[in-house]
Amino acid sequence: MRMKAYNLARIDKEHDMHLQAWLHQMAKSTKNVGTAKKPKHEPVYKTFQEFFDYEKHIQEVQGKKKNVITPKMKMLARIAAKANEGR
């Protein structure tokens, strides 16, 4: 229980650090979008949740992590399977 409480407190601290970084990023950071003649500057992250998914971190600590297989994970599994075939 103490370890879980520690991890939850750590996530709260990470959340605060990410929130501060998010606010700083929103004030300064942009990416160029559009043509060279009419460049637009947009924030790299449109929402704070894209930057730091608080609920996802909480679920990981509480053991409620959903196993989501991404296309990148599938590609890495195929590469690993091919590498293991030669053994």
| Assessment of whether the complete model's pTM goes beyond 0.85 | no
Say yes or no to pLDDT of 14 above 80: yes
Report the mean per-residue pLDDT for the chain.
Answer: 80
pLDDT at 48 over 90: no
Helix and strand numbers, DSSP H then E, in the chain: 4, 2
The one-letter code for the residue type at 22 is W
Residue 25 has pLDDT above 80, yes or no: no
Checking if the pLDDT of 6 tops 70, the result is: yes
Q: Which two tokens stand for residue 9?
A: 């407190």
Pairwise CA distance, residues 76 & 84, whole Å: 12
Query: Which residues, in sequence order, are CB contacts of 40 under 8 Å at separation 6+?
Result: 32, 33, 34
Q: Are 33 and 42 in contact (CB under 8 A)?
A: yes
Per-residue confidence (pLDDT) for residue 34, from 0 to 100: 65
Mean predicted confidence (pLDDT) in 35-45? 69
